[in-house]
Amino acid sequence: MSIDTKTAAHVAKLARIRVDEDDLPALADEFNTILGFIEQLQEVDVEGVEPMTGVTPMRLKRRDDVVTDGNQTDKVLSNAPDAREGFFAVPKVVE
């Protein structure tokens, strides 16, 4: 699999990262290097090996269905560039 500049531009757009047209070839190259490394891993024979989901022998931690958090509107909104009447205010997004 090879990444061209068009794909690189698409990935950048999905990630909401602005990339100048001139920088796209270099970005595509970097992607290809990463993918090349992953492809190398594909060469390992994993026939019959269970996929590893974690490196620690742990069970997924759970909690009870109890309300223990919330009521901190000020803190939640404190980093927002704009907040009004308890809401985050963002530039209009509408279908």
Partner 1 sequence: MLDLTYEAPTPKVIQGAKHDWELVIGLEVHAQVASKAKLFSGASTQFGAEPNSNVAFVDAGMPGMLPVINEGCVALAVKTGLGLKAQINLVSAFDRKNYFYPDLPQGYQISQLYHPLVGEGEVLVDMGPGVARKVRIERIHMEQDAGKSIHDMDPHMSFVDLNRTGVALMEIVSRPDIRGPEEAAAYVGKLRQILRYLGTCNGDMQNGNLRADVNVSVCRPGDYEKFIETGDPSVLGTRCEIKNMNSMRFIQAAIDHEARRQIAIIEDGGSVVQETRLYDPDKGETRSMRNKEEAHDYRYFPDPDLLPLEIEQAWVDEIAGSLPELPDEKRARFVTEYGMTEYDANVLTAEVENAAFFEEVAAGRDGKTAANWVINELFGRLKKDDLAISESPVSAAQLGAILDLLAKDEISGKIAKDLFEIVWTEGGDPAQIVEDRGMKQVTDTGAIEAAVDDIIAANPAQVEKAQGNPKLAGWFVGQVMKATGGKANPKAVNQIVTDKLGL
| Tokens found for residue 90 | 């963002």
Report the chain's C-alpha Rg in angstroms: 22
The answer to the question of residue 4 lying near partner 1 (CB under 8 A) is: no
| Tokens found for residue 46 | 């994993």
The answer to the question of residue 68 lying near partner 1 (CB under 8 A) is: yes
Whichever of 2 and 79 has its CB closer to partner 1, that residue is 79
| DSSP 8-state code for residue 16 | T
Distance, in Å, from the CA atom of 65 to the CA atom of 50, rounded to the nearest integer, reads 32
Whichever of 22 and 69 has its CB closer to partner 1, that residue is 69
Binding positions for partner 1, 70-89, rule CB under 8 A: 70-73, 75-77, 82, 84-89
Distance, in Å, from the CA atom of 35 to the CA atom of 57, rounded to the nearest integer, reads 29
Binding positions for partner 1, 11-30, rule CB under 8 A: 13-14, 16
Interface residue list for partner 1 (CB under 8 A): 10, 13-14, 16, 53-54, 58-73, 75-77, 82, 84-95
